Structure 1
Amino acid sequence: MTATPARPPFDEAVARALDEFSELIVTDMSATDISRVRELAAPFPMAELTMHGAFTREEFALTRPEDGTALAVVVYTPVGTKRPTPVLLHLHGGGLIAGHADSDTPGLTQLMADTGCSLVVFDYRLAPEYPYPAALEDATVVLSWLAGPDAPATVDPARIVLSGVSAGGGLAATTALFARDHDGPQLAGLLLMCPMLDHRSDSFSARQMEGAGSWDRVANVVGWDAYLGPDAHDREVSLYASAARCADYSNLPPTFIDVGSAETFRDECIAFAAEMWKAGGDAELHVWPGGTHGFDFLTPWAPMSRDAREARTAWLRRLLTRV
């Protein structure tokens, strides 16, 4: 029998939430569970999405250049704004297999209100129906539109911060790498919340936390295999598919990364920040003690979750004073 590895303890509020909200826990899953995981991404009331009228909501339909299909984009703008605002271009979580444009919006509205930013979200294509590079292509289309002449006049193309949660965080990182390497728009910053960065799913923390928390190594393999094909962890893939494959971390925008100490992605997030520092980059890293994957979305009322949101807000405010 294999002994259970020693694990960092969960924060008290996190442990309680993991017990109370067991239907939101995604561990020990298989490809047949993808439809169930998608059902977890329920829509939110409009009042919650607009912070009870603090933001206007406008929908746009872009066109994917490779096939002419529509790409739905939503822009939230602070009410009463008098000038172009900085903008957070956000990619939702969901393991690359689930989620929708507004999956994370309620958890971001206070950040927007506190920093005067607009928020842009969109429905990137999901695996396995649309494997790599579909999601990356969608993110690149929206980024180029937002930095171009057809973007809403209320947003400032010189102050685009690319952000993402979980799979969206990993996709934000690969989109930033692609933009850097292909003369894409200049980003003001990169905000990565518990990002899914490494398709190998074999870090110490991934193995340590298998079967525990809210998203484990087994679920992670399912998500990556859907996106990259079967047994993706055994193959070399492009850095634009898996950001951890990057060999050159130079010339990335100022980056904020946070992650829990008791979660699958801890070590790959630490490694990403460390590689940025080695390359002379500007990275701020927070490892929240006892946090599971996405803990502040799971337990928004917890003191540690409030601290995490305040740290992001402080970073974004500092960033926007420099651009």
Structure 2
Amino acid sequence: MEGTPVHVGMMQDMIRASKHRAVYVKYRLAPKHPFPTALMDAYHALLWMVEHSDFLKIDPKNITLAGDSAGGNLCASVALYARDHKGPHIKKQLLIYPVIDVRQTSDSMKMFDDTPMWNSVLNKAMWEQYLKNGDLGMLKYASPILADLHDMPKTYIE
């Protein structure tokens, strides 16, 4: 999913190592486009992918979603949304340091408010921007850790 050249390169390396086909999804970003815009962009990309699976030469029953950070959030959210709305079957997920918990109540969120790269202060600001229009009754899709996770795809979290 969306990312900087470093993130894109990391995903390309993983795709090459997996020897599978990949579809790279660009989605609209907060704060200009708050929740649920990115979720809907990503979900509609999944629907398009399945609809065009012959053209893409992919098996629509063997889809793995992968993403890091906000992209990891979107992968988990799209899988959850697809499950709840009888959408395409997602076989697996690869979530790399996914942003999945709006509550920010973990010990690390309480302790690390001044770390240099990312910290609880920045995390709080990110969630406020992402949810600036509220959760629209869809909080579990913004913060998938809050959802009932039954029947979710096999998931690897790094």
* TM-score, normalised relative to structure 1: 0.45
Q: 1:134 aligns with which of 27, 37, 41?
A: 37
C-alpha contact (below 8 Å) 2:76/2:93 kept by paired residues: yes
Q: 2:139 aligns with which of 238, 248, 251?
A: 238
**Secondary structure class of the residue paired with 1:163:** strand
C-alpha distance in 1, partners of 2:114/2:155?
A: 30
Identity of aligned residues (%): 35
Pair 256,118 (structure 1): closer, same or farther in 2 beyond 3 Å: same
Query: 1:32-47 alignment to 2 at 5 Å?
Result: none
Q: Which amino acid aligns with 2:27?
A: Y
**Secondary structure class of the residue paired with 2:13:** helix
C-alpha distance in 2, partners of 1:191/1:249?
A: 15
Q: Which one has more relative contact order, counting CA pairs under 8 Å at least 6 apart?
A: 2
Pair 152,209 (structure 1): closer, same or farther in 2 beyond 3 Å: farther
Flag the structure with higher helix content. 2
Deviation at residue 151 of structure 1 after TM alignment? 5.9
Pair 117,218 (structure 1): closer, same or farther in 2 beyond 3 Å: same
Q: How big is each residue's C-alpha offset from its partner over 1:114-154, in whole Å with a ceiling of 9 and x where there is no partner?
A: 22112221221111111111000001110111111366333
C-alpha distance in 2, partners of 1:160/1:237?
A: 24
Q: How big is each residue's C-alpha offset from its partner over 1:65-100, in whole Å with a ceiling of 9 and x where there is no partner?
A: xxxxxxxxxxxxxxxxxxxxxxxxxx23xxxxxx46
Pair 123,165 (structure 1): closer, same or farther in 2 beyond 3 Å: same
Q: Which amino acid aligns with 2:144?
A: A
User: What residue is the counterpart of 1:207 in the other structure?
Assistant: 110
Pair 215,156 (structure 1): closer, same or farther in 2 beyond 3 Å: same
**Secondary structure class of the residue paired with 1:184:** coil
Q: Is 1:250 matched with 2:147?
A: no
User: What residue is the counterpart of 1:115 in the other structure?
Assistant: 18
C-alpha distance in 2, partners of 1:196/1:130?
A: 17
Q: Which amino acid aligns with 1:191?
A: L
C-alpha contact (below 8 Å) 1:145/1:151 kept by paired residues: no
C-alpha contact (below 8 Å) 1:136/1:174 kept by paired residues: yes
User: What residue is the counterpart of 1:182 in the other structure?
Assistant: 85
Q: Which ranges of 4 or more aligned residues in structure 1 deviate by more than 6 Å?
A: none
Count of residues in correspondence between the two structures: 156
Pair 111,207 (structure 1): closer, same or farther in 2 beyond 3 Å: same
* TM-score, normalised relative to structure 2: 0.88
C-alpha distance in 1, partners of 2:16/2:27?
A: 25
**Secondary structure class of the residue paired with 2:157:** strand
Deviation at residue 213 of structure 1 after TM alignment? 4.5
User: What residue is the counterpart of 1:106 in the other structure?
Assistant: 9
Q: Which amino acid aligns with 2:142?
A: A
Q: Is 1:195 matched with 2:98?
A: yes
C-alpha contact (below 8 Å) 2:82/2:88 kept by paired residues: yes
Q: Which amino acid aligns with 1:239?
A: K
Gaps of 5+ in 2: none
Deviation at residue 244 of structure 1 after TM alignment? 2.0
C-alpha contact (below 8 Å) 1:237/1:245 kept by paired residues: no
Q: How big is each residue's C-alpha offset from its partner over 1:286-310, in whole Å with a ceiling of 9 and x where there is no partner?
A: xxxxxxxxxxxxxxxxxxxxxxxxx
Gaps of 5+ in 1: 1-90, 93-98, 259-323
Larger radius of gyration: 1
Q: Which amino acid aligns with 2:115?
A: A
Deviation at residue 103 of structure 1 after TM alignment? 5.5
**Secondary structure class of the residue paired with 1:255:** strand
